[in-house]
Homo-oligomer: A and B are copies of this chain.
Amino acid sequence: MLRPLEAPLRHLFGPGPSNVTPRILAAGSRPIIGHMHPEMYEIMNDIKKGIQYAFQTENNMTIAMSGSGHAAMECAVFNTVEPGESVLVAINGIWGERVAEIAERSGANVHRMVKAPGGYFSIKEIEQAIEKHKPVLFFLTHGESSAGLCHPVDGIGDICRKHNCLFLVDTVASLGAAPIFMDKQNIDILYSGSQKALNAPPGTAPISFNERACHKMFNRKTKPISYLFDMTHLSNYWGCDGKPARIYHHTGPVSGFFALRESLAILAEKGLEESWKKHKEVAAYLYRGLEDLGVKLFIPDRDLRLPSVTTIAIPEGYQWRELLSYIMKHHQMEMTGGLGPSMDMVIRIGLMGYNCEKRNADMALNAFADALKNCKKTKA
């Protein structure tokens, strides 16, 4: 402990965290102010506006969690679901599994729709399951980073409304990389993370609730299980409850909020459409390069691929761990294996936000080709 901190420089081309933009690193290193100073409230208001833009919503109840995507996940479930209520979860990778686990611990009656990693749920399947289980909440992952799938969202919000069910969507890995329109798509609760295409350090997580979600969560009979994640208090801390004074709830991560504010400002400067276009172009360039290497992409349908995280079927005869270790050792570059149900099925390359450039795709392709050449094929 008597040595100073050391950390190597890495190309973070996995599914996140991704490299942090210098301007965001600088924002995070500014001398801090108090978490309840008026200037901090201004910064929080900027964050709110930035999230509203990124989510394409006018929801007043829009805040950032003092925690990673899992904090947003727990916040969404803890506040909108009461013990004994029915919850329906679409599982086609790790994130649905997590939400089902969280809802179960909350005492909900959880129903799982399970597909293999990267599987796609039709509107008809979803409606049938909603009719059968009558959930108060239906969960879907927009950006399934463990499988590399970007699930279509259009039309599902309407089905949920028809059946008086809240529509909760995870856009941690897809925000800024693939189009999402919270209001237009009738998404009731949407959350994301700071460390993917936003390029901020991990530790904060945008979340937004519309009027329907607020009505459910502010008319519950029981208190949410967590005081820290109770939206009654968080909405006051973020100045969303219309009350004149903010009461101390917890101490937010001031430096993390500085960084998040700057990451949202960069996205606003660049523009969502430009960011979506860039991710699609660079991903297409990466697909071509990978196919030229003779590698098979894991999601066959091009239109369902997540532009921020590309999944590759593990090349036949190779050990994925050996390939990734080689790339880390010789190229100081992170690519990763599968996660949860996609473990041993895929290798993942993420080019997100600041990292989303053709020159980085070239570097990744070069490193991957080098690994294919130099790692042993274990089977004939």
Contact = CB atoms under 8 A, between A and B. Distances in A.
A225 B106 contact: yes
A339 interface: yes
Contact of A35 (B202, B259, B340): B202
B225 A68 contact: no
Interface in A317-369: 334, 339-340
A201 B66 contact: no
Given A29-B29, A33-B10, A4 B262 contact: yes
Nearest to A53: B1
A9 to B, nearest CB: 6
B7 A19 contact: no
A102 B16 CA distance: 32
Interface stretch (A84-92, A121-129, A174-182, A248-256): A248-256
A43 B7 contact: yes
A300 interface: no
Nearest to A52: B1
B35 A105 contact: no
Given A33-B10, A34-B12, A256-B256, A251 B195 contact: yes
Interface stretch (A69-77, A208-216, A288-296): A69-77
Task: Identify which of A9, A12, A31, A49 gathers the most chain B CB atoms within 10 Å of its CB.
Answer: A31
20 contacts: A2-B265, A2-B269, A4-B23, A6-B39, A7-B39, A9-B31, A10-B37, A12-B33, A16-B251, A17-B32, A25-B29, A25-B31, A34-B334, A68-B251, A105-B225, A195-B251, A201-B255, A202-B252, A203-B255, A255-B255
Nearest to A172: B251
Given A5-B265, A265-B1, A334 B67 contact: no
- Interface size, A (range): 35 or more
A31 B7 contact: yes
Contacts of A71: 67, 228
Interface string A15-54: 0110110010111111111110101100100100110010
Interface of A: 1-10, 12, 14, 16-17, 19-20, 23, 25-35, 37, 39-40, 43, 46, 49-50, 53, 66-71, 73-74, 98, 101-102, 105-106, 193, 195, 201-203, 223-228, 248, 250-256, 258-259, 261-262, 264-265, 268-269, 334, 339-340
A322 B38 CA distance: 16
A78 to B, nearest CB: 8
A51 B329 CA distance: 31
A259 B31 CA distance: 13
A256 to B, nearest CB: 6
Nearest to A103: B227
A224 B101 CA distance: 11
Which 9 A/B pairs are nearest by Cβ-Cβ distance? Answer: A29-B29, A203-B253, A201-B255, A70-B250, A202-B251, A1-B268, A70-B228, A68-B251, A25-B29
Contacts of A252: 68, 202-203
Nearest to A262: B5
A326 to B, nearest CB: 15
A49 B2 CA distance: 11
A35 to B, nearest CB: 7
A9 B33 CA distance: 7
